[in-house]
Amino acid sequence: MTNRIVHGGGITAAARQYGGRPEEWLDLSTGINPNPVSLPEIPIAAWHRLPDQHLQERARAAARGHYRSGDILPLPVPGTQSVIQLLPRLVPGGNVAILSPTYGEYARAFTLAGLQVRQVSAIAELTADDRLVVAVNPNNPDGRVLSIEQLRELHDRQREQGGILLVDEAFGDIEPAASVAPFAASMPNLIIFRSFGKFFGLAGLRLGFVIAEASIMTRFEDWLGPWAVSGPALSIAASLMESDTNGIRDHILQRHSALETVLRRSKLRVAGGTPLFALVADDRAEGIYTHLCRHHILVRKFDYARNWLRFGLAPDEGADERLAGVLEEYST
Residues 140, 138: Cα–Cα separation, whole Å = 7
The residues near 1 (Cβ < 8 Å, ≥ 6 apart) are 112
**DSSP H stretches of helix in 173-230:** 197-200, 214-224
Q: Where are the CATH 3.90.1150.10 domain residues in the chain?
A: 11-30+246-331
What is the model's pTM? 0.96
Domain spanning 51-242: which CATH class is it, in words? alpha beta
Assign 181 to helix, strand or coil. helix
Ranges of beta strands (E only) in 84-129 are 95-99, 116-120
Residues 279, 2: Cα–Cα separation, whole Å = 26
- Strand 277-281 relative to strand 130-136, pairing: unpaired
C-alpha Rg value of the chain to the nearest Å:
20
- Ramachandran assignment for 275, one of left (phi > 0), alpha (psi -120 to 50 degrees), beta (any other): alpha
Taking each helix axis from N to C end, the angle separating 285-294 and 11-18, rounded to the nearest 10 degrees, works out to: 80
Max CA-CA distance within the chain? 60
Q: Which pLDDT does position 267 carry in this prediction?
A: 96
| CATH architecture entry for 11-30+246-331 | Alpha-Beta Complex (3.90)
Query: Each residue of 209-230: b (16+ CB within 10 Å) or e?
Result: bbbbbeebbeebbeebeeebbb
Ranges of beta strands (E only) in the chain are 26-27, 75-77, 95-99, 116-120, 130-136, 164-168, 190-195, 208-212, 270-274, 277-281, 297-298, 300-301, 308-312
The residues near 220 (Cβ < 8 Å, ≥ 6 apart) are 75, 77, 83, 86, 210, 212
Q: Which residues of the chain have pLDDT under 70?
A: 1-2
Q: Which pLDDT does position 222 carry in this prediction?
A: 97
Which phi and psi angles does 301 have, rounded to 5°? -110, 170
Residues 196-246 pLDDT 10s: 999 999 999 999 999 999 999 999 999 999 999 999 999 999 999 999 999
Percent helix, strand and coil across the chain, each rounded to 5? 45, 15, 40
Q: Which pLDDT does position 1 carry in this prediction?
A: 47
- Ramachandran assignment for 7, one of left (phi > 0), alpha (psi -120 to 50 degrees), beta (any other): beta
Residue 159, Cβ neighbours under 10 Å: how many? 15
How many CA atoms lie within 13 Å of 257's alpha carbon, on the beta-carbon side? Answer: 6
Q: Sheet with 308-312: list strands edge to edge.
A: 270-274, 277-281, 308-312, 300-301
